[in-house]
Amino acid sequence: NQGIFFNGQIFDAYVFVSDLIKSAKKSIILIDNYVDESVLNMLTKRAEKVSATIYTHKISKQLQQDLQKHNSQYPAIQIKTYSRSHDRFLILDEKEVYHIGASLKDLGKKWFAFSKIDISSNLLTNKLES
């Protein structure tokens, strides 16, 4: 799975990522340095028992407030700080790894590529916890 979305394909890119989120059976890990409430909203599409964790470079007061409101109504999302990644990654069920060239909040605003990477998710997740 790989491809390119061009500027203006906002809905197509949104549906693509939403479908990935819906496909998760156990867990979702997002590594993205630019997260806002639109990303939290996208993650509400996951199945009820699917955990969600976001790693981002900074948790602003606004994001913290958005997260608290989200978590009071929907299954909780964890947000942790991590600043060593430039690129965006979406890890589904601890096995599927997607490289996404745009922040989820900006999908389709400019050209970006995506690809499913054939590597062990542990290669990334072990670095997140170190």
- % of residues, the chain, pLDDT over 70: 99
Fold of the CATH domain 2-128: Endonuclease; Chain A (3.30.870)
Q: Are strands 112-117 and 27-31 parallel, antiparallel or unpaired?
A: unpaired
Could you count the other beta carbons within 10 Å of the beta carbon of residue 31?
25
* pTM (predicted TM-score): 0.95
Summarised one tens digit per residue, pLDDT across range 74-89 is 999 999 999 999 999 9
Q: Which residue has the higher pLDDT, 91 or 130?
A: 91
Taking the C-alpha atoms of residue 123 and residue 114, their distance in angstroms, rounded to an integer, is: 19
Domain ranges for the chain? 2-128
Torsion of CA 77, 13, 85, 89, to 10 degrees: 70
Rg, C-alpha atoms of the chain:
14
pLDDT of 130 strictly over 80:
no
**43 neighbors 19 (Cβ within 8 angstroms):** no
